[in-house]
Structure 1
Amino acid sequence: MELRHLRSFVALAEERHFGRAAARLHIAQPALSQQLNRLEHEVGARLLERSTRHAELTEAGALLLERAREILANHDRTTDDLAALAAGRAGRVRVGFVGTATYDVLPRVAQRVRAELPDLELVLRGELLGPELLDLLHGGEIDLAVLRPGPAPDPAGDGTVLEPLRDEELVAVLPADHPLAGAGTVDAAALAGTPLVTHPSGRRSTMQPRVLEVCRRAGFEPELVEVGETATLVVFVAAGLGFGLVPASVRAFRLDGVAYVPLAGDPVRVPLVLARRPEQSAPVARVAALITAATRD
Structure 2
Amino acid sequence: MQLQHLRYFTALARERHFARAASACGVSQPTLSAGLSALEHDLGKRLIERDRRFIGLTEEGAAILPWAEQVLGAVRGLTHASAALSVELQGEFRLAAIPAALPLVGAFGEALLAQNRGLAMSVHSQTSREIERGLAANTFDAGITYLDHEPAGNVLSVPLHEEQYLFVARRGTGFDGRTCVDWAEVAEMRLCLLHQGMQFRRILDRQFADCGLSVMPPAIADSYVSLLSLVRSGEFVTIFPAAYADLVSGLDWCLFLPFDAEPAPRRIGLVVVDRDPMGPMARAGLLAAQALQRVGKVG
Asked whether the two chains share a fold, i.e. TM above 0.5, the reply is: yes
Matches within 5 A, 1:108-119: 108-119=107-118
Q: Deviations over 1:172-202 (max 9, x none)?
A: 122222322442222222223213322221x
In structure 1, which of residues 269, 272, 275 is the aligned counterpart of residue 271 of structure 2? 275
Task: Tell me by how many angstroms 1:164 deviates.
Answer: 3.0
Give the equivalent residue in structure 1 for 2:198.
205
Name the SS for the 2:268 alignment partner: strand
Task: Tell me by how many angstroms 1:143 deviates.
Answer: 0.8
Name the SS for the 2:85 alignment partner: helix
**Which stretches in structure 2 are left out of the alignment for 5+ residues?**
1-81
Normalised to the residue count of structure 1, the TM-score between the two structures is 0.61
Q: Does 1:189 align with 2:184?
A: yes
Give the equivalent residue in structure 1 for 2:86.
83
Q: Does 1:160 align with 2:155?
A: yes
Give the equivalent residue in structure 2 for 1:145.
143
Matches within 5 A, 1:27-106: 82-85=85-88, 89-102=89-102, 104-106=103-105
Q: Which whole-Å CA distance do the structure 2 matches of 1:94 and 1:177 have between them?
A: 42
Q: Which whole-Å CA distance do the structure 1 matches of 2:213 and 2:104 have between them?
A: 32
The change in CA–CA distance for 1:181 and 1:294 in structure 2 (over 3 A counts) is farther
Task: Tell me by how many angstroms 1:81 deviates.
Answer: 7.2
Q: Which whole-Å CA distance do the structure 1 matches of 2:215 and 2:170 have between them?
A: 17
Instruction: State the AA in 2 paired with 1:197.
Output: C
Instruction: State the AA in 1 paired with 2:205.
Output: L
In structure 1, which of residues 234, 240, 247 is the aligned counterpart of residue 228 of structure 2? 234
In structure 2, which of residues 197, 208, 222 is the aligned counterpart of residue 215 of structure 1? 208
Name the SS for the 1:95 alignment partner: strand
8 Å Cα contact 1:149-1:206 kept in structure 2: no
The change in CA–CA distance for 1:123 and 1:190 in structure 2 (over 3 A counts) is same
Q: Deviations over 1:209-242 (max 9, x none)?
A: 2212333344432222221112222222222342
Task: Tell me by how many angstroms 1:140 deviates.
Answer: 1.8
The size of the alignment, in residue pairs, is 209
Name the SS for the 1:259 alignment partner: strand
Task: Tell me by how many angstroms 1:120 deviates.
Answer: 1.7
Name the SS for the 2:181 alignment partner: coil
Give the equivalent residue in structure 1 for 2:257.
261
Larger Rg: 1
Give the equivalent residue in structure 2 for 1:35.
none
Give the equivalent residue in structure 1 for 2:127.
129
Paired-residue identity, %: 15
Task: Tell me by how many angstroms 1:132 deviates.
Answer: 2.1
8 Å Cα contact 1:170-1:268 kept in structure 2: no
In structure 1, which of residues 229, 235, 244 is the aligned counterpart of residue 238 of structure 2? 244
The change in CA–CA distance for 1:150 and 1:123 in structure 2 (over 3 A counts) is same
Task: Tell me by how many angstroms 1:94 deviates.
Answer: 0.8
Name the SS for the 1:290 alignment partner: helix
Q: Deviations over 1:9-45 (max 9, x none)?
A: xxxxxxxxxxxxxxxxxxxxxxxxxxxxxxxxxxxxx
Give the equivalent residue in structure 2 for 1:294.
292
**Which stretches in structure 1 are left out of the alignment for 5+ residues?**
1-78
Q: Which sits farther off after the overlay, 173-182 or 137-146?
A: 173-182
8 Å Cα contact 2:160-2:292 kept in structure 1: no
Q: Which whole-Å CA distance do the structure 1 matches of 2:84 and 2:129 have between them?
A: 35
Normalised to the residue count of structure 2, the TM-score between the two structures is 0.61
The change in CA–CA distance for 1:227 and 1:281 in structure 2 (over 3 A counts) is same
8 Å Cα contact 1:197-1:227 kept in structure 2: yes
8 Å Cα contact 1:128-1:229 kept in structure 2: no
Name the SS for the 1:246 alignment partner: strand
Name the SS for the 1:84 alignment partner: coil
Instruction: State the AA in 2 paired with 1:92.
Output: E
Give the equivalent residue in structure 2 for 1:178.
173
Q: Which whole-Å CA distance do the structure 2 matches of 1:139 and 1:149 have between them?
A: 20
Instruction: State the AA in 2 paired with 1:212.
Output: D
Instruction: State the AA in 2 paired with 1:284.
Output: A
